């Protein structure tokens, strides 16, 4: 039942985007609240408590602002694009599974086991390619491939964080990029090259730092694991890269022609690309179990995400225009007048401290995205978006409460603090320092 509520919520949101009917918006919000209640009841203990606290705080703050039910409804509707995105994007795994791409990736990684630096490059490079469309599912899949190899915990923690976090800065299929660009009204095509540039820089820095680390902490090599990759598997790897490139190109082209929201474009592609590929290949028999698995297993498993995202979105919306946020905005404006570096550093510290104690990035970054005005700060919208995405990048990689950190901690058998600050802290801070220097210069 919860699956139908959540999928119905996403479908009606997309219809409402084009129909723009007030009554339909209230129907979508009602479904969303039912989906939130159902998901919160099934969520893990910490996300459930945090979600209920943030939702309660958001509703109380919005009510005290005098907006009543209309304001609360608007706050719920504000986060629906993001909820639809995280719900529907996993559908893109269907054509990848049907095409046998994951098997080719697994063979490639096993073939690199005899050379740790090449294996690390293979893991981070693969995550760089597949994470933009598979989100956290990419880390789970890669870990399944490598589970039998018994890699050192530190190597797993480094490669998963470095490889996955690159997508946080540029992929339109990620909540970070979609939310920030959507609410700052920055077209994806104007930002994407900045995002990809810093992501590639992060990838290069990560591999160089691992090479230095591996010399100090030699990893046992196993030449006996070397197996030849067939031409068919090499072709599959090339097709995988081409698939991602075509998908991103389609996003850019549709945005340029239609001027639709990038979140809506991504949601529509997530639905129609798997359907189109299945129809073209006429492989309905193999595809049907994957669609049913998405409906019956993948969607119901999103309890934590829906609980946290919806409550954090409500809180972020409610904070807009409050005396606290006005004070923060004024402080940041003063710092921006003094120095762009001070302004950027202040935002990084504020977001990092709040997310490190468990407040979700959507609540903090979302509130800042709605509150701050780039023109008043004397900077461009792209610069502001870049800084906010850097803060999301830091908090996701380093906070022991982020979904990425929790997953990598479980796979590597290390604590969240070890995975974040101790193992990846220097890498993340290096990338952020260089990124701020570049954007200051530009």
State pLDDT tens for residues 124-151: 999 999 898 888 888 888 888 887 777 8
Mean pLDDT confidence for 393-410:
89
Could you give phi then psi for residue 71, rounded to 5 degrees?
Answer: -70, -40
Structure tokens at 260: 């639709």
Mean pLDDT confidence for 324-341:
90
Residue 221 has pLDDT above 70, yes or no: no
Q: What is the pLDDT of residue 145?
A: 80
Res. 308 pLDDT band, cuts 50 70 90: confident
Q: What is the pLDDT of residue 165?
A: 93
Q: What gap in Å lies between CA 418 and CA 214, rounded to an integer? A: 18
Q: What is the pLDDT of residue 442?
A: 65
Only one residue has tokens 């919160």, namely: 40
Mean pLDDT confidence for 380-391:
93
Q: What gap in Å lies between CA 415 and CA 395, rounded to an integer? A: 16
Q: What gap in Å lies between CA 110 and CA 144, rounded to an integer? A: 12
Q: What is the pLDDT of residue 205?
A: 95
Mean pLDDT confidence for 156-180:
91
Mean pLDDT confidence for 40-55:
89
Q: What is the pLDDT of residue 121?
A: 92
3-state secondary structure at position 412: helix
3-state secondary structure at position 259: coil
Res. 416 pLDDT band, cuts 50 70 90: confident
Q: What is the pLDDT of residue 183?
A: 85
Mean pLDDT confidence for 298-314:
87
Residue 222 has pLDDT above 60, yes or no: no
Does residue 234 form part of some domain? yes
Mean pLDDT confidence for 416-420:
89
User: How many CB atoms are closer than 10 A to CB 243?
Assistant: 20
8 Å CB contact between 277 and 3: no
Q: What is the pLDDT of residue 298?
A: 84
88-103 tens-digit pLDDT? 988 988 888 888 788 8
User: What crossing angle do the helices spanning 423-441 and 188-216 adopt, rounded to 10°?
Assistant: 140
The total domain count for the chain is: 1
Q: What gap in Å lies between CA 231 and CA 284, rounded to an integer? A: 27
Only one residue has tokens 């193992």, namely: 423
Res. 227 pLDDT band, cuts 50 70 90: low
Residue 116 has pLDDT above 90, yes or no: no
Q: What gap in Å lies between CA 346 and CA 355, rounded to an integer? A: 14
Question: What letter does residue 296 receive in the DSSP assignment?
Answer: I
Q: What is the pLDDT of residue 147?
A: 76
Single out the residue of 414, 418, 411, 428 nearest to residue 142, CA to CA.
411
Does residue 27 form part of some domain? no
Percentage of residues in the chain having pLDDT higher than 90? 38
Query: Which domain, by its residues, includes 111?
Result: 93-281
Residue 262 has pLDDT above 70, yes or no: yes
Q: What gap in Å lies between CA 320 and CA 372, rounded to an integer? A: 10
Q: What gap in Å lies between CA 152 and CA 156, rounded to an integer? A: 6
DSSP secondary structure string for all residues of 28-83: HHHHHHHHHHHHHHHS-HHHHHHHHHHHHHHHHHHHHTT-HHHHHHHHHHHHHHHH
User: How much is the mean pLDDT over the chain?
Assistant: 88
Does residue 288 form part of some domain? no
Q: What is the pLDDT of residue 220?
A: 65
* Residue 82 CA neighbour count, 13 Å, CB half: 29
Q: What gap in Å lies between CA 227 and CA 184, rounded to an integer? A: 49
Mean pLDDT confidence for 167-173:
90
Between 141 and 230, whose confidence is greater? Answer: 141
Res. 389 pLDDT band, cuts 50 70 90: very high
Mean pLDDT confidence for 186-190:
90
Does residue 28 form part of some domain? no
Does residue 97 form part of some domain? yes
Taking CA atoms, 386 is separated from 176, 267, 435, in Å, by 11, 23, 9
Single out the residue of 169, 157, 204 nearest to residue 423, CA to CA.
157
Does residue 436 form part of some domain? no
Does residue 276 form part of some domain? yes
Does residue 111 form part of some domain? yes
8 Å CB contact between 255 and 188: yes
- 197, exposed or middle or buried, with CB in 10 Å at 0-12, 13-18, 19+? middle
Residue 300 has pLDDT above 70, yes or no: yes
Q: Which of 16-20, 237-241, 386-390 has the lowest mean pLDDT?
A: 237-241
8 Å CB contact between 195 and 177: yes
pTM of the model: 0.85
Q: What gap in Å lies between CA 407 and CA 304, rounded to an integer? A: 13
Residue 374 has pLDDT above 70, yes or no: yes
8 Å CB contact between 7 and 56: no
Percentage of residues in the chain having pLDDT higher than 70? 97
Number of H helices, E strands in the chain: 23, 0
């Amino acid at each position: 039942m919860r699956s139908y509520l959540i999928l119905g919520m996403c479908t009606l949101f997309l219809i409402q985007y084009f129909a723009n009917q007030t009554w339909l918006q209230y129907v979508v919000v009602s479904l969303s609240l039912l989906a939130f209640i159902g998901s919160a009841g099934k969520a893990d203990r910490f996300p459930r408590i945090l979600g209920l606290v943030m939702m309660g705080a958001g509703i109380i703050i919005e009510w005290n602002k005098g907006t009543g039910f209309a304001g609360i409804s608007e706050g719920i509707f504000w986060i629906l694009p993001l909820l639809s995105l995280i719900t529907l994007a996993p559908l893109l795994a269907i054509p990848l599974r049907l095409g046998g791409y994951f098997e080719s990736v697994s063979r490639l990684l096993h073939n690199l086991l005899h050379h740790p630096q090449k294996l690390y490059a293979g893991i981070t490079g693969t995550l760089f390619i597949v994470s933009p469309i598979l989100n956290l599912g990419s880390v789970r899949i890669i870990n399944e491939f490598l589970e039998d190899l018994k890699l050192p915990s530190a190597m797993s923690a480094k490669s998963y964080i470095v490889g996955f976090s690159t997508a946080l800065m540029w992929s339109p299929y990620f909540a970070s990029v979609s939310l920030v660009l959507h609410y700052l009204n920055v077209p994806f095509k104007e930002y994407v090259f900045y995002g990809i540039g810093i992501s590639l820089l992060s990838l290069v820095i990560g591999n160089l730092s691992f090479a230095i680390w591996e010399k100090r902490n030699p990893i046992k090599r196993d030449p006996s694991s070397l197996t030849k990759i067939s031409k068919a598997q090499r072709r599959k790897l090339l097709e995988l890269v081409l698939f991602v490139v075509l998908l991103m190109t389609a996003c850019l082209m549709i945005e340029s022609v239609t001027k639709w929201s990038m979140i809506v474009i991504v949601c529509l592609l997530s639905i129609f690309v798997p359907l189109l590929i299945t129809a073209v290949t006429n492989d309905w028999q193999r595809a049907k179990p994957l669609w049913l698995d998405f409906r019956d297993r993948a969607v119901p498993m999103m309890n934590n995400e829906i609980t946290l995202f919806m409550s954090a979105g409500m809180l972020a919306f409610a904070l807009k225009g409050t005396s606290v946020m006005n004070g923060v905005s004024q402080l940041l404006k003063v710092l921006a007048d003094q120095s762009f570096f001070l302004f950027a550093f202040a935002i990084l510290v504020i977001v990092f401290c709040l997310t490190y104690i468990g407040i979700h990035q959507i609540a903090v970054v979302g509130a800042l995205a709605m509150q701050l005005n780039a023109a008043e700060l004397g900077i461009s919208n792209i610069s502001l978006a870049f800084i906010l995405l850097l803060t999301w990048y830091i908090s996701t990689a380093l906070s022991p409460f982020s979904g990425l950190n929790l997953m990598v901690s479980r796979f590597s058998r290390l604590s969240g603090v070890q995975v974040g600050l101790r193992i990846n802290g220097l890498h993340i801070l290096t990338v952020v320092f260089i990124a701020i220097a570049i954007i200051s210069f530009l």
